[in-house]
C-alpha cells in the first residue's frame, strides 16, 4: 500500500543527505544513504581483497526482480545492462533493411540514433502530440519516450499502442524519465528501456530492457557473453551450449557497484509506493508552475515532475552558483522534482528566479 505524503517526506528525510537544493533528477538522481553504504561496503571489500569484494550475482537477480515488480512484468522479460543506447542498438540490429521506424521529433538521442546510424532503415519523424496519427501501413516500429527528457511532455501511449496495433507495428518505449515517479506498466509493449540512474536512484551503469515473450525469438543477442547462458557458470569457456530461455539472453555482465546501489534504492521506492511518490513529485511541480506564472513565465504545459520554461536557460549557471541544481536543456531551464525535494526547495528556486 502506498504511504501518505507525510510518510514519504519522513522516510526521504531519513534516507537522503544532500546539502544542496537538488532539482535535477531528470539528469541524475541522488543516491539514498542505504545505496551509498552498499557501494562503500563493496568497494572496501574489493580494496581489502576480501572474497565478497568481487560482487554477487544474486544482488543483480534481486534488482531484476524488483524492477520487474515496479513495471508490472515477469522477471523473465527483463534483461539488465549498462545503458539505454546499448539496448536500443540491439533492437535496431534486429530490423530488416528498409524497415520504417517512427520517432517523435526532438526525442532523446538514444531513442533514435541507433536506427538513424544503421543507414539502411527509414526513420521518420512526427510531432509527439500527433504521433499516433503518423503511424501508417508499413511502419515496423514506433520508438518513443514515455516522458520527454527536454521538457516533461508526456506521450499518449495508449493512443500510440492502438495505432501500432491497427497497422501491425511494434513499440519501443523509453521509460527512463518515467519509471520511479510515474506509474508505468511495461507489459503492453514489445520493448521498453529504462536508465536506472535518474528517478530509480541507482547510479550510472544500471539499465533495464524488457522484451515481450512474443518479441524475444526475433531479437538476436549480439553481445551475448557467458552471463547470457542458461547456466552461466558452465559457459565461461568455449562456445555457449545453450542461451538463457528468457530475456536473460540479452544481459550484459552487470557492473556490480551501481547494481549494489540499485538494490536498496528500488527497495525504497517499493516501500514508499510509486503512486505516493507521483503525488509528492507532481504536487511540487504544480507549486513551481504556479510560482512561475506569478513571475510572468509560461512553462511547458503538463503535469509531469519535470518542468521546463523557455527564456530562463541563461539563469542556470547563477542558480548553480547559489547551490540550486537545475539543467539547461533544449533552450529551456529544466527543474525536476523527486521524493527528496520539499516545498522549501521550490520556494527557494522561485525566490532566486524572482530576484
Q: What is the mean pLDDT of residues 106-129?
A: 96
Taking the C-alpha atoms of residue 217 and residue 222, their distance in angstroms, rounded to an integer, is 13
Please list, residue by residue across 291-316, b when 16 or more beta carbons sit within 10 angstroms of its beta carbon and e when fewer do. Answer: bbeeeebebbebebbbbbbeebbebb
The ranges of the chain annotated as CATH 3.90.1150.10 are: 5-32+272-354
pLDDT of residue 4: 56
Tell me the CA distances in angstroms from 197 to 3, 204, 208, 213, 294, one per residue in order.
23, 5, 11, 26, 33
pLDDT of residue 1: 44
Please list, residue by residue across 107-135, b when 16 or more beta carbons sit within 10 angstroms of its beta carbon and e when fewer do. Answer: bbebbbbbbeebeebebeebebeebbebb
Provide the CATH topology of domain 51-270.
Answer: 3.40.640
The ranges of the chain annotated as CATH 3.40.640.10 are: 51-270
Q: What is the mean pLDDT of residues 44-63?
A: 94
In this structure, CATH architecture of domain 5-32+272-354: Alpha-Beta Complex (3.90)
- The two beta strands, 100-104 and 139-145, are parallel
Q: How confident is the model at residue 49 (pLDDT cuts 50, 70, 90)?
A: very high
Q: What is the pLDDT of residues 300-325, one digit of tens each?
A: 999 999 999 999 999 999 999 999 99
Q: What is the pLDDT of residues 247-257, one digit of tens each?
A: 999 999 999 99
Taking the C-alpha atoms of residue 105 and residue 344, their distance in angstroms, rounded to an integer, is 35
Q: What is the pLDDT of residues 71-116, one digit of tens each?
A: 999 999 999 999 999 999 999 999 999 999 999 999 999 999 999 9
Q: What is the mean pLDDT of residues 183-208?
A: 97
pLDDT of residue 14: 82
Which phi and psi (to 5°) does residue 11 adopt? -65, -40
Q: Which three cell numbers stand for residue 80?
A: 539488465
Taking the C-alpha atoms of residue 58 and residue 60, their distance in angstroms, rounded to an integer, is 5
Q: Which three cell numbers stand for residue 62?
A: 534481486
Q: How confident is the model at residue 2 (pLDDT cuts 50, 70, 90)?
A: low
Mean pLDDT estimate for the chain = 94
Residue 127 has, within 13 A of its CA and on its CB side, a CA count of 3
Q: Which residues contact 48 (CB under 8 A, 6 or more apart)?
A: none
pTM given for the model: 0.94
Q: How much of the chain exceeds pLDDT 90, in percent?
A: 87
- Reference 325, options 50, 100, 27, 114; nearest CA is 27
24: which DSSP letter? B
Amino acid at each position: 500500500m502506498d504511504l501518505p505524503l507525510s510518510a514519504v517526506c519522513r522516510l526521504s528525510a531519513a534516507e537522503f543527505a544532500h546539502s544542496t537544493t537538488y532539482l535535477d533528477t531528470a539528469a541524475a538522481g541522488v543516491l539514498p544513504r542505504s545505496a551509498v553504504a552498499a557501494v562503500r561496503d563493496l568497494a572496501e571489500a574489493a580494496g581489502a581483497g576480501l572474497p565478497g569484494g568481487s560482487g554477487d550475482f544474486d544482488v543483480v537477480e534481486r534488482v531484476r526482480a524488483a524492477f520487474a515488480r515496479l513495471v508490472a512484468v515477469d522477471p523473465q522479460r527483463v534483461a539488465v545492462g549498462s545503458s539505454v543506447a546499448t539496448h536500443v542498438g540491439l533492437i535496431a540490429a534486429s530490423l530488416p533493411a528498409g524497415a520504417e521506424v517512427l520517432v517523435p521529433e526532438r526525442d532523446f538521442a538514444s531513442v533514435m540514433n541507433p536506427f538513424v546510424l544503421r543507414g539502411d532503415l527509414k526513420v521518420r519523424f512526427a510531432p509527439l502530440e500527433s504521433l499516433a496519427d503518423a503511424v501508417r501501413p508499413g511502419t515496423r516500429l514506433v520508438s518513443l519516450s514515455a516522458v520527454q527528457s527536454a521538457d516533461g511532455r508526456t506521450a499518449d501511449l495508449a493512443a500510440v499502442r492502438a495505432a501500432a496495433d491497427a497497422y501491425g507495428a511494434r513499440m519501443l518505449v523509453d521509460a527512463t524519465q518515467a519509471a520511479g515517479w510515474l506509474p508505468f506498466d511495461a507489459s503492453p509493449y514489445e520493448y521498453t528501456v529504462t536508465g536506472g540512474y535518474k528517478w530509480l536512484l541507482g547510479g550510472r551503469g544500471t539499465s533495464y530492457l524488457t522484451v515481450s515473450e512474443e518479441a524475444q525469438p526475433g531479437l538476436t543477442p549480439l553481445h551475448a557473453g557467458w552471463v547470457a547462458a542458461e547456466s552461466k557458470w558452465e559457459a565461461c569457456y568455449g562456445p555457449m551450449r545453450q542461451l538463457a530461455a528468457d530475456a536473460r539472453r540479452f544481459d550484459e555482465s552487470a557492473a556490480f557497484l551501481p547494481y549494489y546501489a540499485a538494490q536498496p534504492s528500488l527497495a525504497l521506492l517499493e516501500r514508499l509506493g510509486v503512486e505516493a511518490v507521483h503525488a509528492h513529485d507532481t504536487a511540487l511541480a504544480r507549486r513551481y508552475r504556479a510560482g512561475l506564472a506569478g513571475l510572468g513565465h509560461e512553462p511547458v504545459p503538463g503535469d509531469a515532475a519535470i518542468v521546463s520554461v523557455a527564456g530562463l536557460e541563461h539563469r542556470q549557471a547563477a542558480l548553480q552558483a547559489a547551490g540550486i541544481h537545475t539543467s539547461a536543456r533544449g533552450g529551456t531551464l529544466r527543474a525536476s522534482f523527486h521524493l527528496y525535494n520539499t516545498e522549501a526547495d521550490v520556494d527557494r528556486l522561485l525566490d532566486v528566479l524572482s530576484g
